[in-house]
């Protein structure tokens, strides 16, 4: 172990090589920068109070790094930082894969899961230090391509999985001349997650749908989750040996969604890799040039693989196969993705939690103490704390809302989402044209056409042209629960850990979506 002491003679910046290292701090810091493992995992400056273990545990594989899900000390994937009251920070960041940073009392500790690697250590101004850290990562993993970030209409945040061919074609027509570059078909087109063929709601097939999109003058986009499969899928039933197992031979959980258990493909299995390559090539042959690959964390979950190698190395090798199969000319958006191992292979990356049509949900945020669930506030918080990645990859903050129908945010809250998209330079929405008033449609057009000057003026404040924008209202986390609320939280968490309860919730949401769809 390499040991250092932080004092007035500490070098401003240095790079050292070690499997693990410790930096002794002169006094307790006031804040710690937590950087979550994948797109949806919390990233934020927080105080040193232990954060509660988020609930439900059944979702840990798809929201946090399950290896560290119950760690109560301030900790962080790849990079962590401490801040004192004078505003200066000390950053410890790995320049390789499979590393973790922990604040252990007066010690900032970093370690690689296997082997060793380089570390970037710097003290001083936050903006300058994170910028240099990003530059060092870019030298090792690669930086973003010259492709511009497209303006995207996505089907997800309107009717979610309740999409069909007829309804989408109607939307494409009613979007008219709104200046979108990509029309993206999200979840709901496939037979099952794992069985990537058009379901009966898309009788003409996916090539015909892509052709219809391209007839509007835009590129066709498609959502896939190639590294996971639900238990009932044909892929899983026929090839269970392609999936990740633990040391005892049991299947590794990749979470729970679509009312089913999820399993993770082993990205070192040669037959699974051939299948993945074929899937991505088929998607391109259908005519989809913009590919959103989701739930990618599954490729880096801990487990026993066909070919033994560090889990993040296995993920990155699998991602290389996907990138090669889709071709360099495709635009690749990574989502639910381990951050550092994805750099240099994708064109854009989701860097925060999913948004939703509400600012925050009391059940999820208060009772489950879960900052990774979909909500506008969660999305803004984590996205903002990862803006330092923008020199490495197009940073996707998820969609902005303009509609007032089927949306439960205030104008101010919607404005924060819109302004965050302008800061990121990545613009998308799922608003249905038939849900927009004339004024809302015009606001959307102006948003898509705008190219504002953006300048950061403090940690949470920006100047966007002549407008001052402060994201501070989205930065707070839930406080510790006591008494009756703590009891209620325990009950909600218990329910959330049972598949039957999640299936009931999923069925209720689907029924509500079908009713909403009939009213269009």
**Quick one: pLDDT at residue 243?**
98
Q: Which helix (H) or strand (E) holds 324?
A: helix 311-326
**Quick one: pLDDT at residue 367?**
85
Cα distances (Å, whole numbers) of residue 175 to 160, 291, 350, 404, 449: 18, 21, 25, 17, 15
**Quick one: pLDDT at residue 492?**
77
Indicate whether 364 and 460 sit together in one domain: yes
Indicate whether 163 and 210 sit together in one domain: yes
Among residues 219, 222, 192, 218, the alpha carbon closest in space to that of 206 is found at 222
Q: Which of 433, 450, 474 represents a domain boundary (last residue)?
A: 474
Distance CA 153, CA 394 (A): 17
Indicate whether 220 and 359 sit together in one domain: yes
Q: Which of 82, 109, 141 represents a domain boundary (last residue)?
A: 141
Indicate whether 158 and 133 sit together in one domain: no
**Quick one: pLDDT at residue 8?**
65
Indicate whether 60 and 196 sit together in one domain: no
Regions of the chain with pLDDT less than 50: none
Query: Could you read off the pLDDT of 331-345 as tens digits, one per residue?
Result: 999 999 999 999 999
Among residues 110, 100, 93, 92, the alpha carbon closest in space to that of 37 is found at 100
3-state secondary structure of 463: strand
Q: Which of 92, 121, 141 represents a domain boundary (last residue)?
A: 141
Indicate whether 65 and 169 sit together in one domain: no
**Quick one: pLDDT at residue 419?**
98
Among residues 255, 302, 262, 301, the alpha carbon closest in space to that of 496 is found at 255
Q: 122 lies in a domain?
A: yes
Beta carbons within 10 angstroms of residue 72's beta carbon = 10
Phi-psi label, residue 406: left if phi above 0, alpha if psi -120 to 50, beta otherwise: left
**Quick one: pLDDT at residue 494?**
81
Distance CA 497, CA 156 (A): 25
Contact 193, 230 (CB under 8 A): yes
Strands, E, within 237-393: which ranges?
253-257, 260-264, 290-293, 331-334, 348-350
**Quick one: pLDDT at residue 197?**
98
For the chain, the distance separating the N- and C-terminal CA atoms, rounded to the nearest angstrom, is 63
Q: 232 lies in a domain?
A: no
Which of 427-460 are b and which e, b meaning 16 or more Cβ less than 10 Å from the residue's Cβ?
bbbbbbbebbeeebbebbeebbeeeeeeeeeeeb
Q: 239 lies in a domain?
A: no
Q: Prior bond to 88 cis, omega within 30?
A: no
Question: In this structure, what token pair is assigned to residue 226?
Answer: 């190639």
Q: 310 lies in a domain?
A: yes
| Helices vs. strands in the chain: H and E counts, helices first | 14, 27
3-state secondary structure of 119: strand
- Print the domain residue range for 116: 2-141
Q: 514 lies in a domain?
A: no
**Bridge partners of 176?**
none
**Quick one: pLDDT at residue 9?**
67
Q: 193 lies in a domain?
A: yes
């Amino acid at each position: 172990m390499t040991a250092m002491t932080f004092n007035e003679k500490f070098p401003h910046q240095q790079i050292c090589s070690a499997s693990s290292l410790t930096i002794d701090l002169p006094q307790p810091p006031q804040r710690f920068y937590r950087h979550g493992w994948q797109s949806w995992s919390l990233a934020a400056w927080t105080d040193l109070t232990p954060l509660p273990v988020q609930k439900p545990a059944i979702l840990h594989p798809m929201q946090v790094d399950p290896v560290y899900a119950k760690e109560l000390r301030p900790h962080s994937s790849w990079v962590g930082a401490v801040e004192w009251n004078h505003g200066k920070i000390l950053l410890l960041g790995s320049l390789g894969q499979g590393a973790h940073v922990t604040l252990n009392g007066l010690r900032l500790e970093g370690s690689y899961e296997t082997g060793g690697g380089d570390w970037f250590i710097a003290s001083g101004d936050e903006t300058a230090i994170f910028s240099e850290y990003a530059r060092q990562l870019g030298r090792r993993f690669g930086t973003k391509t010259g492709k511009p970030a497209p303006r995207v209409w996505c089907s997800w945040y309107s009717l979610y999985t309740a999409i069909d061919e007829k309804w989408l074609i109607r939307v494409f027509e009613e979007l008219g001349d709104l200046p979108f570059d990509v029309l993206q078909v999200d979840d709901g087109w496939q037979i099952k997650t794992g069985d990537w063929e058009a379901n009966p709601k898309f009788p003409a097939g996916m090539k015909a749908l892509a052709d219809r999109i391209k007839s509007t003058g835009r590129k066709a986009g498609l959502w896939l989750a190639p590294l996971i499969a639900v238990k009932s899928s044909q892929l899983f039933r026929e090839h269970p040996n392609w999936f990740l197992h633990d040391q005892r031979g049991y299947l590794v959980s990749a979470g729970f969604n679509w009312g089913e258990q999820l399993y993770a493909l082993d990205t070192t299995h040669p037959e699974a890799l051939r299948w993945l390559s074929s899937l991505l090539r088929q998607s391109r042959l259908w005519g989809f040039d913009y590919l959103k690959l989701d739930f990618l964390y599954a490729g880096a979950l801990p487990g026993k693989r066909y070919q033994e190698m560090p889990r993040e190395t296995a993920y990155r090798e699998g991602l290389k196969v996907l990138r090669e199969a889709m071709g360099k000319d495709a635009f690749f958006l990574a989502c639910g993705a381990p951050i550092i191992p994805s750099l240099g292979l994708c064109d854009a990356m989701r860097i925060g939690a999913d948004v939703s049509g509400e600012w925050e949900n009391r059940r999820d945020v208060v009772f489950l103490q879960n900052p990774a669930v979909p909500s506008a506030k969660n999305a803004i918080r984590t996205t903002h704390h990862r803006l330092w990645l923008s020199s490495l990859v197009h940073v996707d903050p998820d969609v902005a809302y303009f509609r007032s129908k089927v949306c439960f945010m205030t104008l101010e809250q919607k404005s924060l989402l819109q302004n965050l998209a302008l800061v990121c330079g990545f613009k998308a929405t799922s608003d249905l044209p038939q849900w927009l008033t004339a004024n809302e449609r015009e606001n959307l057009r102006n948003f898509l056409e705008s190219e504002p000057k953006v300048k950061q003026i403090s940690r949470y404040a920006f100047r966007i042209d002549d407008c001052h924008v402060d994201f501070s209202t989205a930065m707070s986390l839930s406080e510790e629960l006591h008494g009756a609320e703590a009891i209620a939280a325990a009950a909600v968490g218990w329910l959330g850990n049972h598949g039957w309860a999640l299936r009931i919730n999923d069925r209720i949401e689907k029924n509500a979506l079908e009713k909403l769809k009939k009213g269009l």
